[in-house]
């Protein structure tokens, strides 16, 4: 597998909101929606959204390697 193929396997997720069950929802580069079933814990457990709907039930667990883009509206506190 070459480098270009490896990059395709890595999903880049962008936070798009919180559903009505308080689950963070993310969108990948293919417009597929993913839900964090741990409700935003330190280590997200992501599942696809049924019907690719924002309010869809969590479905299949994520199998690809993923990275979550930082939210530009959230400031990181400087370490003391």
How far is residue 59 from each of residues 30, 47, 72, 79, measured CA to CA in Å? 17, 6, 28, 38
Of the candidates 9, 23, 10, the one whose C-alpha atom is nearest the C-alpha of residue 68 is 10
Per-residue model confidence (pLDDT) at position 63: 94
For residue 74, the model assigns a pLDDT of 54
Check if the beta carbon of residue 38 is closer than 8 Å to that of residue 45.
yes
Spatial separation of the C-alpha atoms in residues 43 and 68, rounded to whole Å:
11
Write out pLDDT tens, residues 19-75.
999 999 999 999 999 999 999 888 899 999 999 999 999 999 999 999 999 877 655
Q: What's the pLDDT score for residue 14?
A: 96
């Amino acid at each position: 597998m070459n480098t270009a193929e490896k990059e395709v396997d890595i999903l880049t997720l962008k936070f798009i909101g919180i559903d009505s069950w308080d689950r963070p929802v993310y969108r990948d580069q293919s417009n597929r929606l993913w839900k964090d079933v741990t409700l935003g814990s330190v280590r997200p457990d992501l599942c696809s959204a049924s019907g690719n709907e924002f309010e869809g039930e969590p479905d299949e667990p994520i199998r690809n390697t993923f990275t979550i883009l930082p939210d530009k509206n959230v400031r990181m506190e400087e370490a003391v």
